[in-house]
Amino acid sequence: MTYPGWPSPRFMWDLWRAAGRAEAVYTFFASMHAVPAVIVAKARGRRFVVSVGGYDVAYVPEHGYGLRARWPHRLVPGFVMRRSDRVLAISEAAREEAVAAGAPADRVEVVHLGLPERRVDAPEATPRDPDQVVTIAYVSAVSFSRKGIDRFVAAARNDPGRRYVLVGRVADDVVERLGDPPDNLRITGHVDDDELDRILWSSGV
């Protein structure tokens, strides 16, 4: 199900019916969208599982990053995770952050993100370029600094001997912030999976 941005009556009714047909309810991230999901799951007597490991459990107040760095949003991750039957953390660091945010340690399990099998082997005839550097992101006004895109662009500008590739859609309000990109920086926009494979496997960094 897709959270519409607020728990509308229609969404809550659809969620109630869907939970009734399911053995468990699952959400990715212990953010605001997980609150109605965990409430309905518990009311329906269903197991609730949440994956965490990003903005939801991060706490970097000096940069205003993380749900826990904002009030009253900081209460949300703990509310969700304490009511979860299982908390799946995407890394050891995420596990530590989840426990710090209120997750019962005995319910937290590390499950690393994976890749489909077709993405594991390098595409045939894809040479590796040690001087090509790639990063992938959806570039928005918020993520421009948070995801280090500004530093990536600066690195390209200060390292003209290498080729830099920025993969991902760039929001309209960020285009002007990119200014005049250096000649050694290529911005691809959104690419399909095959092209993404080729770029990743051809990059040295």
Residue 90, judged by CB atoms within 10 A of its CB (0-12, 13-18, 19+), counts as: middle
For the full predicted model, state whether its pTM sits above 0.75. Answer: no
The H-or-E segment that residue 88 falls in is: strand 86-89
Q: Strand, coil or helix: what is 38?
A: helix
Query: What pLDDT does 123 receive?
Result: 62
Q: Spell 128-164 as b/e; 16+ CB within 10 A means b.
A: ebeebbbbebebbeeebebbebeebbebbbeeeebbb
With 0-12 / 13-18 / 19 or more C-beta atoms within 10 angstroms meaning exposed / middle / buried, residue 173 is: exposed
Q: Do domains 9-110 and 118-202 have the same CATH topology?
A: yes
Strands 47-52 and 86-89: parallel
- Tell me, what's the pLDDT at 7? 92
- Structural domain boundaries of the chain? 9-110, 118-202
Number of DSSP helices (H) and strands (E) in the chain, helices first: 8, 7
Say what the pLDDT of residue 76 is: 96
Residue 79 and residue 72 in contact, taking contact as beta carbons nearer than 8 Å: no
Q: What is the pLDDT along the chain (205 residues), one digit of tens a residue?
A: 899 989 999 999 999 999 999 999 999 999 999 999 999 999 999 999 999 988 899 888 887 788 888 888 899 999 999 999 999 999 999 999 999 999 999 999 999 987 666 655 666 667 889 999 999 998 888 778 878 899 999 999 999 999 999 999 988 888 777 778 899 999 999 999 888 888 988 999 9
Give the pLDDT of residue 55.
87
Cα distance between residue 85 and residue 108, in whole Å: 9
CATH fold of 9-110 reads: Rossmann fold (3.40.50)
Q: In this structure, what are the phi and psi dihedrals at residue 44, rounded to the nearest 5 degrees?
A: -90, 0
Q: Write out the two tokens for 97.
A: 């952050």
Domain 118-202: give its CATH architecture.
3-Layer(aba) Sandwich (3.40)
* Token pair 């040295």 in the structure block, residue: 204
